[in-house]
Structure 1
Amino acid sequence: MNRISLWLLLCLCFITDGFAQAPQVPQDYFSNPMEIPLILSGSFGELRSNHFHSGLDIKTQQREGIPVYAPADGFVSRIKVSHYGYGKALYIKHTNGYSTVYAHLSNYAGPIQDYVKGQQYKKESYVIELFPEAELLPVKKGDLIAYSGNSGSSGGPHLHFEIRDGNSRPMNPMLFGVDIPDGKKPLINSVIAYPQSSEAHINNAFKPVKLRLIPQKDGSFKTEKVKAIGQIGFGISAYDQMDGASNKNGVYEIKTSYNGETKLEVLFDRFSFNETRYLNQYIDYGYWQRNKSRVQRLFVAPNNPLSLFKNQDASGLIEVEEGFQGVYSITVKDFQDNTVRIDIPIEGAATTSTPKQSDTDGLNFVSAAENTSITKGKFSVFIPSNSLYEDVYLDIEAEADTLDFHYDEVPIHKNITISFDASNYSDQDLAKLFIGRLNYKGEPYYNTTYRKGKKLSIRTRTFGTYALATDLQAPTISPENFQDQKWISNNKTLKIKIEDEGSGIKSYRATLNGKFILMEYNYKKDVLTYDFGDNISTDTENNLKLVVVDNVGNSTTFEATFFRKQS
C-alpha cells in the first residue's frame, strides 16, 4: 500500500469515527420473554433517581406469577437474590455473546429453582449470589425459567427485562426487534435557557429562564423570542407515553441544532453501569430537587463523560453576538419515530443590567479536583477529589450532635465521609449510636455507621442534615397467620411480621426443631414468609425460634409451638 492510499484510509477511518454509528445488532434473534401483550411501565434509558433505567419494565396485568421464558438458547450465568434492588434476579448468557436479565421475579422455575433453594439452605441464607458453571443450567429458547413478581425495590408487579452486550453494557431491547406499540408523540413539559458565561444573559437575567411554549397547528412548538448575549445552553423536560399505558416513559432521541447546524444529539441506545450516575450532572439536579421535574441539559456540563452524547459541537452550547438573529431547534423522538420539534428564535441584544454577585461569606469553598477536609464542632467532613462535578461553595454548620451539611440541590458523585467525635459517650452508649440523615419529619434514617474507637463515621452521596441518634428499642415480632400451641395443618406458609422503628432490621435467623428454615423478607410489608413446601417440618409438634437483630445490635427472640398433620 503506497503512502497516498494509506493516508486516504486513515482519513476515511477518522471521518467514519466522527459520526454516531447505530449499534449493529441481531434482529429476530430474541423472542418475547412473556406470552402476554407487551405494555411498558418503564422504557430504556428513562431518567431515574441517580441512574438511567437499564431495561424495559413490562406490565404483568397487575399480578404476579406470569411465566417467563428464555428468549434464546444459552445458560444461566448468574443468580442473585436480595431483599432490595432487583430482588430475585436471573442472568442468561446466550450463544451469540449477548446476555439477558430478568428482575423482580417471584420465583425461579424447574431446575433453576431447585438449585437456588438448595444453595440457600446450604449457606443458610436467603440473600445469595451464584455463578453456575455453563453446563450446570443450560436453557433452550422457549424454556420456562421463572415467574414474574414484585420482589426487591419494585413499586408494583412487573418484569424488568434487559439485553446486555458482550461488555455487560445494557442496550435498548427495542433495537433487537422487541416491538412495543406506540402511536403517541412525546410530550413536552418545559424548556429552560441557561447562561453559561459570566457576561451571558437571557432576557436581561443572569440565571436560568423558563421559556413560554407556544403550540403550533402542526403539533410543534415555538417559544417567545429570546434576547440574549454570550454563551448559552438549553434544557428540556419531556417524556413519552405508549399505547395502552399512561406511564411517563423516557424518550429515545433528542437532537439540537442552531441555524440548521447540529449542536448535540442524545441517543438512548446503550450505556455502561460505571457512567450511569452521571445522570445527576446531565439533568438540572437543583431544579429536580425543587420541582420534581427532570430537565435534561442539552449541553455537556463539566466532568460529564456520558456516552449517550453524540455529534457534539462546542459541547452543545451556542454563542450569541449582539445584532445576530438565529433559531435554536430541539427535536424529540420516541423509538417509533413519533416526533416533536421546538423552535427558539434568538436575537442578540445587549443589556444594561449587571449580574448580581453571589454572597459567599461564611461558606466553605470546595474544589472538585482536590481533596477537602472540613471540621465543624464534633463533626469532620472529608470530600475526596472528584466527589463533586464542579467547584462549589458549601453551607456547613454544626450544633451539638447535628450537622447541617449544605442542602440537597448539588449532586454528589463519589462517597463523602462524615465523622463524629463521640469521646464523651460511654462504651455502653456508644454501641447504640448511629449517624442518620434526617427526613422531612426530622426523623433520622439509618446510614451504615462505622466505629473506630470513639469515632463514628458514615459515607454518603447526599447533602442534607445529619444527626447522631440513639436506638435502645429492640425489634418487635408478631405472628401473622398462626398462634402459639395451635394446629395449622392447612397452612401453606408461615408468616411473621418484624418491625424496628429505630435503626432498622439488619438480620434474622429462624429454626424449626433446631433446623434452619429459609424465610423470605418482604421489607415493604415487614413480613417474613416460610414455605412449608421446603419440607423442613416433618414432625407433628414443631418448635419455632426466630431471632431478629437491628442495625445497632438490639435483638429479639421469638419462640412458639404449632402442630401440623404429616401426610
Structure 2
Amino acid sequence: MQKNLFLLFLISSFCFSQNPYPQDYFRAPLDITLIPSGTFGELRSNHFHSGLDIKTQQREGLNVYAVADGYVSRIKVSHYGYGKALYITHPNGYVSVYGHLQKFSPTIEAYIKKLQYEQETFEIEVFPTAAELPLSKNDIVAFSGNTGGSGGPHLHFEIRDNEERPINPLLFGLDIQDGVNPTIKNVYAYPISKDAHVNKSREKQKLRLVALQNGDYTVENIEAYGKIGFGIEAIDRQDLATNQNGVSNIQGIYNGNLKFEMDFKRFSFDETRHLNRFIDYEHFKNKKERIQKLFVEPENPLSMYTNLDNNGFINVEDSTSSVYKIKVGDFHNNNSWLTINIEGKQASEMKAKPDSVTPYFIYAKKNNELINKHISVNFPENTFYDDFFIDFKVSNDTLSLHDDIIPVRDNFSISYDITGYKNPEAEKLYIARLVGYRNQYALYSQTYKKENVLTTYTKTLGTYALVMDTIGPKIKPLNFSKGKWLSKYRFLKVKIEDDESGISNYRATINGKWILMEYDYKKNELTYDFNDAISQETENNLKIIVTDNVGNSSTFETLFYRK
C-alpha cells in the first residue's frame, strides 16, 4: 500500500508540474492585490463558476486593464448576468472576459452608447471587428462595478480558449496568496447496489467526522458491504479572505489505488448544468449543503472527471478490512486528507430504504406526457438522468409537480388551456412558480400564448399556478419633483417596481427624444446621465412608460427645467 501511495504522489506531482498555458503573457486585470471572493469551478446554483471573482476593496470605479494586446471582440450590456461585460480577443487565441463593470473606458463607452441610442435600447450585444477597438496590454478598458447579478462590488474575470471554454486564470501565472488547507465539513457514504449497506442501513449515511491535530481528518470506523460511494462537503479559504470558496482538486483512493479524481481546471458552458448530477441535488435542496459525489453516475458527461476506476465506486466484501482516503486540494497544492477505515461485514438485518411509489412513472429515455383536465406537462426524451416515480396533482389552476429535488437536464413544458377564461381576463394571465413558505410567492415564468393555450418552459420541478395580473407597474421620481430646476444635477433617478408579473420593458423620452436610462434591477432604479445631452431646452418634458410581463403599462410624465 505504501508503494502505491508513493507512486500516486509522484504521478500527482508530475501532473501538477505540467502546465501547458503561457505564464508571462497575461498581466493582472487590476493593479491591487488579488483577493478572491469566488474561485474557478466553484459550485454555484445550476453551474460551475467560470472565472475568478476579485474583490475591489468594497468599492467601485477601480481601473480595469487589458491583460494583453488584442481587440474588443464582444460587448454585452444586460440587466442580469454579467451586467456590463467586455470580451477581448488576444493574438494567442485566448479571450479575456471582464464582468459586472461600472462603465467602459471613454472610447469604448462612446462606441457602445452610440449604438444604444441608434437602437434605442439599454440592453445590447455587439461584436466589433478587430480594426474597430484595438487595445494594447495595460490599456484601461473599463472601471470595476456591481452591475448585473453581482452581489457586491467585484470584478468577474475569465480566460477562455478558442472553443469558448473557460480555464482557471491562475493557470496563466496570475497569483493569489494562499497557504490555507481546504476544510472538509461533512462526509457521507452511499449504498449503491441492491445488497449494499453502510452501518446496517440501505440509506445514505452521514459519517461522524473527526478533526486530527495535524489538520487532517478521519471518521469513526464503519461497517459496510457491497457497492459503495462516498461524498464530501468541502470548501477552501485564502490567506487574505474569509470567503468559503471552492476547492481545486478532489481524489478518492481505495487501498492505495486511485479510484476517482475531479480536477477543476477547465470546462465548457454546454456541460456546466451537469453540476446538479455531480452534487447530491436532493440533499442540497433540502439542507442547502452541496455534497460532491466521488462517483460518477450514468449520463454524467462532465469533462473534469479524470483517472476514474469503476467510476469511483468501491466494492466491499465480507470479512475484509480496507481503507478509503480522500485528498482535497486547492490550486496552490495545499491539501487535506480524510481517512475512512472500513470493516467489510454483510449484515443479516438492515434498515430498508423506503420506496416512493406514485401512479406516474417517468422513463428518462422516452418522451413523457402528463395530462390532467386543462393542464399538460411534456418531458422530452432525456429531460432527466434516471427513471423515477413522479408526483403529479392538479387542483383548480395549481399544478403540483413533484418537489424540486430531482436534477433536470433540459427544458420541459407546462401548458394551460384557458378556454374557460374570457377576455379581458385571459389577456392578463400568466404561469408562475410558487415558492417560499407555503408557496406564498408567485415568480413569473416566461409565458407564451398561442390561441387559447399558455405555455412556459422550465428546468425546475415544483408547484406552478395560473396567476392574473391587472395592476400596472409603479413609477416614482427619486431625486427630483415636478417643476424643479435640475441645472446642477448630473443624474436623473426614477424608481420602477412591479409586484406581480414583473417588469418587461420601459421607454423614456425627453421632449419626445429617446433617452438612455440604465436599469439596476437590484435597486429597481432607472438612471439617466445628463452628460448625454439629449435636450438643450430650458423646459423639458420627461415621459416614462413601463410595461409588465402581461402587458399592463404605466406612464409617468413631468416637467423639469435646466440651463
The TM-score, its normalising length taken from structure 2, stands at 0.96
Aligned equivalents of 1:476, 1:490: Cα separation in 2:
27
Q: How far does residue 359 in structure 1 lie from its aligned partner after superposition? A: 4.2
Secondary structure of residue in 1 paired with 2:271: helix
Contact 1:280–1:411 at 8 Å: present in 2 too? yes
Contact 1:377–1:399 at 8 Å: present in 2 too? no
Q: How far does residue 427 in structure 1 lie from its aligned partner after superposition? A: 2.7
Contact 1:20–1:311 at 8 Å: present in 2 too? no
Q: How far does residue 374 in structure 1 lie from its aligned partner after superposition? A: 0.6
Secondary structure of residue in 2 paired with 1:345: strand
Provide the residue aligned with 2:53 in structure 1.
57
Q: How far does residue 114 in structure 1 lie from its aligned partner after superposition? A: 0.7
Contact 1:186–1:238 at 8 Å: present in 2 too? yes
Q: 1:310 aligns with which of 281, 306, 309?
A: 306
Contact 1:20–1:310 at 8 Å: present in 2 too? no
Secondary structure of residue in 2 paired with 1:192: strand
**Pairing 1:263–2:231 present:** no
Q: 2:20 aligns with which of 16, 21, 24?
A: 24
Q: 1:220 aligns with which of 216, 227, 237?
A: 216
- Higher mean alpha-carbon deviation, 464-473 vs 372-381, is at 372-381
Aligned equivalents of 1:277, 1:291: Cα separation in 2:
20
Q: How far does residue 243 in structure 1 lie from its aligned partner after superposition? A: 1.4
Q: How far does residue 358 in structure 1 lie from its aligned partner after superposition? A: 4.3
Secondary structure of residue in 2 paired with 1:95: coil
Provide the residue aligned with 1:377 in structure 2.
373
Contact 1:74–1:92 at 8 Å: present in 2 too? yes
Contact 2:30–2:65 at 8 Å: present in 1 too? yes
Provide the residue aligned with 1:460 in structure 2.
458
Provide the residue aligned with 1:330 in structure 2.
326
Check 1:275–1:21 CA distance in 2 against 1; reply closer, same or farther (3 A cut): farther
Contact 2:357–2:389 at 8 Å: present in 1 too? no
Q: How far does residue 270 in structure 1 lie from its aligned partner after superposition? A: 0.3
Amino acid at match of 2:321: Q
Q: 1:558 aligns with which of 548, 556, 559?
A: 556
Q: 1:162 aligns with which of 158, 162, 165?
A: 158
Q: How far does residue 20 in structure 1 lie from its aligned partner after superposition? A: 10
Q: How far does residue 21 in structure 1 lie from its aligned partner after superposition? A: 9.9
1:27-85 CA distance string (max 9 Å, x none): 01100101111101000000000000000000001111101000100000000000000
Q: How far does residue 475 in structure 1 lie from its aligned partner after superposition? A: 0.6
Check 1:246–1:20 CA distance in 2 against 1; reply closer, same or farther (3 A cut): closer
Secondary structure of residue in 1 paired with 2:424: helix
Check 1:317–1:357 CA distance in 2 against 1; reply closer, same or farther (3 A cut): closer
**Pairing 1:110–2:106 present:** yes
1:328-386 CA distance string (max 9 Å, x none): 00000111111100010111101122563644443411011111001123211100111
Provide the residue aligned with 1:272 in structure 2.
268
Identity %: 52
Aligned equivalents of 1:31, 1:375: Cα separation in 2:
57
Contact 1:288–1:295 at 8 Å: present in 2 too? yes
Contact 1:68–1:145 at 8 Å: present in 2 too? yes
Secondary structure of residue in 2 paired with 1:182: coil
Amino acid at match of 2:542: L
* Equivalent residues in 2 for 1:332-411, closer than 5 Å: 332-354=328-350, 356=352, 358-411=354-407
Aligned equivalents of 1:443, 1:294: Cα separation in 2:
25
1:162-214 CA distance string (max 9 Å, x none): 00111110000000111000111101110000011111000001011011112
Check 1:399–1:433 CA distance in 2 against 1; reply closer, same or farther (3 A cut): same
Contact 1:377–1:400 at 8 Å: present in 2 too? no
**Pairing 1:72–2:49 present:** no
Provide the residue aligned with 1:286 in structure 2.
282
Aligned equivalents of 1:35, 1:329: Cα separation in 2:
41
Aligned equivalents of 1:361, 1:89: Cα separation in 2:
48
Amino acid at match of 1:196: I
Secondary structure of residue in 2 paired with 1:274: coil
Amino acid at match of 2:135: V
* Equivalent residues in 2 for 1:483-502, closer than 5 Å: 483-502=481-500
Secondary structure of residue in 2 paired with 1:41: strand
**Pairing 1:301–2:306 present:** no
**Pairing 1:450–2:448 present:** yes
Contact 1:512–1:543 at 8 Å: present in 2 too? yes
* Equivalent residues in 2 for 1:527-538, closer than 5 Å: 527-538=525-536
Provide the residue aligned with 1:37 in structure 2.
33
Secondary structure of residue in 1 paired with 2:273: helix
Contact 2:200–2:351 at 8 Å: present in 1 too? no
Q: Give the aligned CA root-mean-square deviation in angstroms.
A: 1.2
Amino acid at match of 1:473: I
Which runs of 5 or more residues in structure 2 are unaligned? 1-14
Q: 2:240 aligns with which of 240, 244, 252?
A: 244
Aligned equivalents of 1:534, 1:333: Cα separation in 2:
51
1:434-488 CA distance string (max 9 Å, x none): 0100121422110011111111111111111101100010111110011111111
Aligned equivalents of 1:22, 1:300: Cα separation in 2:
26
Check 1:301–1:361 CA distance in 2 against 1; reply closer, same or farther (3 A cut): closer
Alignment length (residue pairs): 547
Aligned equivalents of 1:325, 1:124: Cα separation in 2:
71
Secondary structure of residue in 1 paired with 2:224: strand
Q: How far does residue 396 in structure 1 lie from its aligned partner after superposition? A: 1.1
Provide the residue aligned with 2:10 in structure 1.
none
Aligned equivalents of 2:75, 2:232: Cα separation in 1:
39
Q: 1:191 aligns with which of 187, 194, 207?
A: 187
**Pairing 1:542–2:540 present:** yes
Provide the residue aligned with 1:89 in structure 2.
85
Provide the residue aligned with 2:119 in structure 1.
123
Contact 2:82–2:148 at 8 Å: present in 1 too? yes
The TM-score, its normalising length taken from structure 1, stands at 0.95
Which runs of 5 or more residues in structure 1 are unaligned? 1-18
Aligned equivalents of 2:295, 2:374: Cα separation in 1:
41
Contact 2:76–2:85 at 8 Å: present in 1 too? yes
